[in-house]
A = this chain, B = another copy of it.
Amino acid sequence: MKKLTLFFLALIAMCQMQAQPGGGRMMQVSSPVVNPDNTVTFNYRDANAKQVLVDVQFAGRHEMVKGENGVWSITLGPAAPDIYPYCFIVDGTSVMDPQNPDWFPNEGFKNSLLDIRGTGEPLIHAVKNVPHGSVDYVNYYSETLGLYGNAIVYTPPFYDQNPDKKYPVFYLISGTTDTEEVYFKVGRVNFILDNLIAEGAAKEMIVVLPYGNPMKYYPEGTDLRGKGDMFSKDLINDLMPFVEKNYRTINDRNYRAIGGFSRGGNQGLANGLQNLDKFSYLCSYSSFTTTAIPGVYDDAEKTNSLINLFWLGVGTDDFLYGNAKDYMDFLDAKGIKNVKEFTSDKFGHTWMNAKYFLDKSLRLLFQK
């Protein structure tokens, strides 16, 4: 085995020399470094840059200091254990941290993910020593879209070992420029649910992550006028039937939930409230909300009888807080029962809040 090890080492050295695009700038500095006191040191090597900033969701934007060997550094925090998106801004150009393989899947910005685990009890999104479910990337044919769409499906632990068991299902939609991966890679719905299920704090369930921006499947310039609300049509007429054919879902409104973050929360509420024959659990996380759904709000008794849970969470420091609070007041004035959760310590319209709200609300799904 010694010779083999030498060969591996030689190979690794050789491969690191390969001509990957941009590979000539391979960095050898560690970043980010989480210190024992939960401060974080960011390092970025660039001998030629004139200015390097770090922009991190627990601290905002800060100028880094150039040290020896052209490495720019800064230590920020301490911060509460959580997962924080961040980027470097190098002479005005936003870049992911070259040293960090964990990133935020997004169509509008490029951020890396900082994971501060802390030294206390593992966080609810941590990978713990509990049974784990599986996260499936699927492609389903959508008649609405005329193409195979992307979706991701979480199945709970032991799903495959219980071929006769059926499960409730939660449709969970990401934010505006997010891809369908964000509730997995950033929101960690799988690990949160694995942990809650292991604690007996949440029901076993299937979670479906749709792609919220189906218009982006088409080349720029495609005429989509007259197509209407493609997301909703695809969700109801294509994705749901696919899920129900390919996964062991309980096909009953009392066992279906829908919700999401930001624009996804709007899509979740709108589709839930317009399809109360299909959904009875509704979750809005930091969403822009809407009162413009005919026939739902005016008959509170009927609507309340159809909704098992109407859950709304928002940060008081979220730029959408005013809208969300107005909507909550509107629901209360109309007599529509709802559960409200407010935070003030998770930096506004962020996925730190999204994970927190997920943890709180998953515990309440399918408990009636």
B4 touches A290 (CB 8 A): yes
Given A4-B270, A14-B320, A108-B23, are A91 and B94 also a contact pair (CB < 8 Å)? no
A10-B46 Cα distance, complex, nearest whole Å:
40
CA distance A147 to B130 in the complex (A): 11
The residue among A101, A153, A266 with the most chain B CB atoms within 10 A of its own CB is A101
Segment at the B interface, from A48-56, A332-340, A359-367: A48-56
Contact present for A5 and B107 (CB under 8 Å):
no
Contact flags A45-79 to B (C-beta < 8 A → 1, else 0): 01011000001110001000000000000000000
A27 to chain B, nearest CB (A): 9
By the criterion of a CB under 8 Å from any partner CB, how many residues of chain A are at the interface? 91
Instruction: Write out the residue numbers on chain B whose beta carbons fall within 8 Å of the beta carbon of A30.
Output: 220
In the assembled complex, how far is the CB of residue A280 from the closest CB belonging to chain B, in whole angstroms?
21
Q: A266 with B148: in contact, given A14-B320, A16-B108, A94-B98 (CB under 8 Å)?
A: no
By a CB distance below 8 angstroms, the chain B residues around A201 are none
A-B contact pairs, 23 of them (CB 8 A): A3-B290, A4-B293, A10-B288, A11-B262, A15-B177, A19-B348, A20-B109, A20-B111, A21-B55, A21-B109, A22-B94, A22-B109, A46-B92, A48-B92, A49-B91, A91-B91, A94-B95, A94-B98, A95-B96, A96-B96, A127-B139, A134-B153, A136-B137
Q: CB within 8 Å of B: which residues of A?
A: 1, 3-5, 7-8, 10-12, 14-23, 25-26, 30, 46, 48-49, 55-57, 61, 85-87, 89-96, 98, 101, 103, 105-111, 127, 129, 132, 134-141, 147-148, 153, 160-161, 163, 175-177, 179, 184, 190, 220, 228-229, 246-247, 262-263, 266-267, 270, 288, 290, 292-293, 319-320, 348-349
